[in-house]
Amino acid sequence: MRALSIIWATERIQAETDVHITPELIKVVTHKNEYTAIERVLADHGIVTFALAYDLVKEHSDGNVTIRQIPSLTDLSTGIAYDLVEALYSILDLGDNELAPTTYTPADFDEGNGNLPEELTDK
C-alpha cells in the first residue's frame, strides 16, 4: 500500500508543481563541472527534473521536505539525490543549520575505536 501512496503523491506533486527556470537556477547549473551530481542529473534526467530537485532541496533547507522525499518525488536514485543535496547546500550556502547533510567516508572512522559485531555479541 505504501508504494501506491508514494506513486500517487508523486503524480499529484508533479501535476500540481510548476517548475520555473530562473536566473538563480541557471547560476547553479554553471557549477556542473565542479559537481558531478549536477552534471549527472542534467544529463540523465533533464533540466525540468533538476529544477524540481533544486526547489525540493531549498524546501529541505527550510525543513519542509525530508531528504528521503527528494528521490521519491524526482525519480532520482537515493545516492545521486543525496549528492545533489550536498552540492546545492554548498553552492547556495544553505548549510548553516542542523539540517545540513553530512557525508561520511570510511576514513572518518578510526579502526581502533572498537569492533561493533564483537561488542554486540553475548559472551
pLDDT > 70: percent of the chain: 62
Return the pLDDT at 62. Answer: 87
Would 81 be classed as within a structural domain? yes
Q: At what angle do helices 36-61 and 78-92 cross, to 10 degrees?
A: 70
Under 8 Å between Cβ of 55 and 73: no
In a domain, 19, yes or no: yes
Domain count, the chain: 1
Structural domain contains residue 56: yes
In a domain, 121, yes or no: no
The whole domain housing 11 covers 2-103
Q: How confident is the model at residue 22 (pLDDT cuts 50, 70, 90)?
A: confident
Across 26-55, average pLDDT: 93
pLDDT for 70 beyond 90:
yes
Asked, for residue 122, whether it belongs to a domain, the answer is: no
In the predicted model, what is the mean pLDDT of residues 11-15?
Answer: 51
Q: Which three cell numbers stand for residue 77?
A: 536514485
User: Does a structural domain hold residue 123?
Assistant: no
- Cα-based distances in Å from 1 to 6, 15, 57, 76: 9, 21, 27, 21
3-state helix, strand, coil in the chain (%, to 5): 65, 0, 35
**Do the domain assignments include residue 99?**
yes
Query: In this structure, is residue 109 part of a structural domain?
Result: no
